Structure 1
Amino acid sequence: MEDWKVELGKKALEAGMLKDPQWLNRLDEPMPLWVLLELAFTLIERLDPPTISYD
């Protein structure tokens, strides 16, 4: 596996984007759609957290 893929995987693991370190050994495998959706919703929540009215 290419070094750049391993580095991306390590960064994703450190950032909490990957929760299972075993993915580092399977970076060339397709990722299930549910994993991509979970990642997308996590990023959306981080970038635009739900607002709570203080009224």
Structure 2
Amino acid sequence: METWKMELGKKALESGIMKDPQWLDRLDEPMPLWVLLEIAFQLMEKLDPPTVSYD
């Protein structure tokens, strides 16, 4: 496996995107669409959280 993929996988583990280190051996496998959607929604919530009134 390419070094850049392993580095990316390690970064994902450190940041909490991936929780299981066994995924490092499976970085070349296809990803289900639901996983990509879950990541996209988490990113959207972090970048633009729902507004809450402080009144």
How far did residue 19 of structure 1 move?
Answer: 2.2
Aligned length: 55
User: Identity, % of aligned pairs?
Assistant: 80
TM-score in terms of structure 2 length = 0.88
How far did residue 20 of structure 1 move?
Answer: 2.2
**Structure 2 runs not aligned, ≥5 long:** none
Query: What is the RMSD of the two structures over their aligned residues, measured on CA atoms?
Result: 1.0
**Structure 1 runs not aligned, ≥5 long:** none
Q: Could you report, residue by residue, the CA deviation over 1:1-55 in whole angstroms, capped at 9, with x for unpaired residues?
A: 1111000001011111112222111000001111101100111111111111012
User: Which structure 1 residue ranges, 4+ long, deviate > 3 Å from structure 2?
Assistant: none
TM-score in terms of structure 1 length = 0.88
